[in-house]
Amino acid sequence: MATILFLSWLRVAKPDTATGYQLDSITACVVSGVSLQGCRGSILGAAGCLLLQALRTPITMSGFSEEYRTLVTGIVILIFAAAALARRNERA
């Protein structure tokens, strides 16, 4: 569904259209609470994607290069993955 919406917004379909969105997809999953081991996630966790975009939009609008956006994305992945690991260890 997301691909159909994305391509209808772009109005073009090329093999390399979404190149570079892999990290964004992984980050959105981690932030929204999807377990990296699989089988866990919730629709309510999708609000985490809004947090990610709220962090990245000011970087883009300020004119910083793509490397800073990637750095922020990586830091967000590390923070949320560490929090999920700590939560899982706490339950065990």
String of DSSP letters for 20-55: T-HHHHHHHHHHTT--TTSS---SGGGHHHHHHHHH
Q: Is residue 87 part of a domain?
A: yes
Q: What is the pLDDT of residue 19?
A: 77
% of the chain exceeding 90 in pLDDT: 0
Q: Is residue 7 part of a domain?
A: no
Confidence band (pLDDT; 50, 70, 90) for 43?
A: low
Q: Is residue 2 part of a domain?
A: no
Confidence band (pLDDT; 50, 70, 90) for 78?
A: confident
Q: Is residue 55 part of a domain?
A: yes
Query: Is residue 64's pLDDT more than 80?
Result: yes
> What number is the average pLDDT over the span 66-74?
84
Q: Is residue 78 part of a domain?
A: yes
Q: Is residue 56 part of a domain?
A: yes
Q: What is the pLDDT of residue 63?
A: 87
Is the distance from CB of 29 to CB of 76 less than 8 angstroms? no
Domain count, the chain: 1
Q: Is residue 79 part of a domain?
A: yes
Domain enclosing residue 47, as ranges: 19-91
Q: Is residue 12 part of a domain?
A: no
